[in-house]
């Protein structure tokens, strides 16, 4: 479609945008006439809502936002949203449309190319460089002032792309806010040169650096922004890593680390002090590792430390501080209750597996083990099981290292080896506390294993974790910990092995076929001419061009049957136990993953990455 012949000095109007929508045959003339009749009333309503959200008068409502507010049904039966309006406008003006991924923005580039006032006035955001071409996101295809500026710089090739106004304005506010706070912190510190960290202070003794009060407004705002940003991005971990010249801030999202910002070296100490103060750690101690926790509440877009005064989302963060070559490295593990506490049916178990697990936790006594590598979701499975069991009639007690998330329904104890409170010692004491259900964070030594077995034998339901690759290997691990076979066979109820698979992005999912070589790698028998339909993610802005977004659990559930008990008594190898479990109906990790691939939930590469042929 050719660019409409219209003056290039005024922004795209509501009426002109509606005309483009009609030309694209998304709405009828009758619908457009009705929208024009109520446009001013709808605009005033949006302006009031925007003022309540931002506290600012005179909010600009773009044509796309105003059109989308009507929620009009299109001729193809869908609701006309802001993104589809902008895509239609972009096509009419021969422009690309893009969704803004904040993790791909260069904050330094944005703040150095344009001022905040200019960016807000023109709703403009530098997206980055495509070779020598500077890519700028705008919400108005006319953008006369921007085009005039471009004309004055013919030496700099520029491409304008269309984006959502709400996304542009939000990133402008976030980027300039955090940059302003970082610059303010640098000014407050009054240090111009880079302060090398712990390792190089042995040589450069004069560069001790200034300490910043942990309540400094710029540092406080920068840390608050970081926490809010991590929650918005649904990150599981925040890494603040000091390097020689700068500190890198990285977020782990769906199991993958993304660099989101860089801090000047001199600001790193101030940010570290602020986080340590929030976690009630020793700010002066910089030589030894420290662990703490922060509880924050998010309500109305704000981040507050401590319990929420009003109902809101309370999020636990576990803080680990460790000295490195250039300063203290901080890792914050985020425990969002909406993720950690899920109904058993939402974990990703197949119906038959869920039925078996529910029979496990309904047992009055016995030992239930969850196994898998670090980061495979074992904590979520255990907490969800405990939540299903939690009633006023039961005494549920946990022993953890450390306490992952404080839950009032449980009695939680953190191990402390420095005072002799190990898993084994805590478990011995706990047996005198009249427990009904016991959760042991991890069975890692002989004492803990024997005490857990003893507790299961004496009428308690015990849940715990073991670091093994699959369910059958768990029995071999217990034997390695010197637990007698007859005790394992009489107390072990079942084993749950699990992994986390990244799921295919629904926004760019497309159908394809599994190649014969891929089927062979997965152990799938493929007859000549037979085709297997699967799905992959093509990659889009929503999933950051990975084709994957979000994660789900994949499980291997092994009930301990009579036949398996007889094998345990003879100390049969894990492979033999695995074969018997499969004969008894166990679905292996690999098979569970392949089933989810067949359902279009995950991809071939994820199945291959998360499971191996050794996962029986």
Query: Phi and psi of 509, rounded to 5°?
Result: -70, 135
Taking 70 as the threshold, does the pLDDT of residue 9 lie above it? no
Q: What are the tens digits of pLDDT across the range 252-302?
A: 988 888 888 888 888 888 899 989 998 889 988 888 999 988 888 765 445
Q: Which residue has the higher pLDDT, 116 or 282?
A: 282
Average pLDDT over residues 16-20: 90
* pLDDT the model gives residue 427: 87
Q: Which residue has the higher pLDDT, 444 or 309?
A: 444
The residues spanned by each domain of the chain are 14-165, 190-338, 341-500+553-589
Helices 14-23 + 82-92 axis angle, to 10: 80
Taking 70 as the threshold, does the pLDDT of residue 8 lie above it? no
566: pLDDT confidence band, cut at 50, 70 and 90? very high
pTM of the model: 0.71
Judge whether 548 and 537 are in contact, CB under 8 Å.
Answer: yes
Per-residue CA distances from 349 to 115, 345, 361, 382, 500 (Å): 51, 7, 15, 14, 12
Q: What are the tens digits of pLDDT across the range 440-468?
A: 988 988 988 998 999 999 899 999 999 89
CATH 3.40.718.10 fits 341-500+553-589, yes or no: no
* pLDDT the model gives residue 194: 40
Taking 60 as the threshold, does the pLDDT of residue 187 lie above it? no
Enter the CATH code of domain 190-338: 3.30.450.90
Give the range among 297-301, 384-388, 597-601, 605-609 with minimum mean pLDDT.
297-301
Give the range among 320-324, 364-368, 515-519 with minimum mean pLDDT.
515-519
Give the range among 14-18, 26-30, 164-168, 184-188 with minimum mean pLDDT.
184-188
Q: What are the tens digits of pLDDT across the range 195-212?
A: 434 333 333 323 333 333
Q: What are the tens digits of pLDDT across the range 467-490?
A: 898 999 999 999 999 999 999 999
Query: What is d(CA 328, CA 574) in angstroms, rounded to the nearest whole number?
Result: 43
> Percentage helix, strand, coil, to 5, in the chain?
40, 25, 35
Average pLDDT over residues 334-354: 85
Per-residue CA distances from 56 to 47, 51, 60, 173, 205 (Å): 10, 5, 10, 13, 49
Q: Please give the mean pLDDT across all residues of the chain.
A: 84
* pLDDT the model gives residue 52: 76
Q: DSSP alpha helices (H): ranges in 38-132?
A: 39-54, 63-69, 82-92, 107-113, 116-122
Average pLDDT over residues 158-172: 89
Query: What is d(CA 603, CA 96) in angstroms, rounded to the nearest whole number?
Result: 29
* pLDDT the model gives residue 417: 84
Taking 70 as the threshold, does the pLDDT of residue 220 lie above it? yes
* pLDDT the model gives residue 54: 66
Q: Which of 287, 311, 222 is nearest to 261 (CA)?
A: 222
* pLDDT the model gives residue 49: 84
Residue with tokens 């990790």: 589
Taking 90 as the threshold, does the pLDDT of residue 592 lie above it? yes
Helix (H, G, I), strand (E, B) or coil at 571: coil
Tokens (6 digits) for 575: 């492979």
Q: What are the tens digits of pLDDT across the range 49-100?
A: 877 776 666 678 889 989 999 989 988 888 898 899 999 999 999 999 998 8
Judge whether 191 and 210 are in contact, CB under 8 Å.
Answer: yes
* pLDDT the model gives residue 305: 57
Judge whether 360 and 495 are in contact, CB under 8 Å.
Answer: no
Give the angle subtended at the CA of 456 by the CAs of 454 and 458, to the nearest 5°.
Answer: 70
Locate the DSSP E strands across 424-547. 437-440, 461-466, 492-504, 509-513, 533-537
* pLDDT the model gives residue 315: 84
Taking 70 as the threshold, does the pLDDT of residue 186 lie above it? no
Cβ burial of 408 (10 Å; 0-12, 13-18, 19+) is exposed
């Amino acid at each position: 479609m050719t660019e409409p012949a219209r003056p290039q000095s005024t922004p795209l109007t509501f009426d002109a945008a509606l005309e483009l929508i009609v030309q694209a045959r998304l709405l009828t003339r009758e619908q457009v006439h009705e929208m024009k009749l109520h446009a001013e009333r709808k605009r005033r309503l949006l302006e009031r809502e925007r003022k309540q959200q931002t506290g600012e008068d005179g909010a600009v409502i773009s044509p796309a936002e105003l059109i989308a507010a009507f929620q009009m049904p299109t001729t193809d039966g869908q609701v006309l949203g802001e993104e589809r309006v902008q895509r239609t406008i972009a096509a009419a003006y021969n422009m690309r449309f893009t969704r803004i991924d904040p993790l791909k923005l260069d904050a330094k580039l944005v703040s150095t190319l344009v001022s905040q006032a200019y960016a807000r006035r023109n709703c403009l955001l530098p997206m980055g460089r495509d070779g020598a071409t500077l890519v700028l996101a705008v919400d108005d295809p006319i953008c006369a002032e921007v085009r005039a500026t471009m004309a004055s710089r013919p030496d700099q090739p520029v491409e304008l792309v269309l984006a959502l106004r709400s996304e542009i304005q939000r990133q402008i506010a976030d980027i300039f806010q955090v940059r302003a706070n970082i610059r303010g912190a640098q000014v407050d510190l009054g240090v111009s040169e880079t302060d090398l960290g712990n390792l190089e202070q042995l040589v450069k003794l004069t560069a001790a650096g200034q300490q910043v009060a942990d309540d400094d407004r710029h540092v406080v705002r920068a840390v608050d922004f970081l926490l809010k940003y991590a929650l918005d991005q649904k990150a599981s971990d925040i890494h603040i890593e000091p390097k020689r010249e700068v500190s890198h801030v990285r977020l782990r999202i769906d199991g993958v680390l993304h660099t989101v910002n860089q801090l000047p070296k001199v600001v790193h100490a101030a940010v570290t002090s602020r986080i340590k103060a929030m976690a009630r750690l020793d700010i002066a101690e910089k030589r030894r590792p420290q662990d703490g926790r922060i509880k924050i509440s998010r309500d109305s877009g704000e981040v507050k430390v401590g319990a929420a005064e009003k109902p809101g989302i309370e999020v636990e963060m576990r803080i680990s501080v460790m000295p490195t070559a250039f300063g203290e490295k901080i890792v914050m593990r985020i425990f969002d209750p909406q993720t950690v506490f899920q109904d058993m049916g939402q974990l990703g178990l197949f119906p038959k597996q869920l039925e078996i697990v529910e029979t496990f936790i309904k047992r009055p006594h016995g030992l239930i083990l969850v196994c898998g590598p670090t980061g495979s979701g074992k904590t979520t499975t255990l907490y969800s099981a405990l939540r299903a069991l939690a009633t006023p009639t039961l005494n549920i007690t946990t022993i953890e290292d450390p306490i992952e998330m404080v839950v009032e329904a449980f009695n939680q104890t953190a191990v402390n080896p420095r005072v002799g409170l190990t898993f084994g010692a805590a478990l011995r004491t706990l047996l005198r506390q009249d427990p009904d259900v016991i959760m042991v964070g991890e069975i890692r030594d002989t004492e803990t294993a024997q005490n857990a077995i003893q507790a299961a034998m004496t009428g308690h339901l015990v849940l715990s974790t073991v670091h093994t690759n699959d369910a059958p290997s768990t029995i071999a691990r217990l034997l390695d910990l010197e637990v007698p076979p007859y005790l394992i066979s009489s107390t072990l109820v079942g084993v749950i092995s699990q992994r986390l698979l990244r799921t295919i992005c629904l926004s760019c999912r497309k159908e394809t076929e599994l190649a014969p070589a891929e089927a062979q790698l997965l152990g799938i028998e493929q007859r000549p001419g037979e085709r297997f339909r699967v799905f992959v993610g093509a990659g889009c802005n929503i999933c950051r061009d990975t084709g994957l977004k979000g994660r789900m659990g994949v499980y291997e559930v092994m009930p301990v049957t009579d036949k398996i008990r007889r094998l345990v008594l003879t100390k049969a190898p894990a492979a033999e136990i695995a074969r018997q479990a499969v004969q008894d109906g166990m679905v292996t990790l690999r098979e569970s993953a392949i089933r989810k691939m067949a359902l279009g939930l995950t991809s071939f590469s994820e199945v291959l990455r998360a499971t191996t042929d050794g996962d029986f």
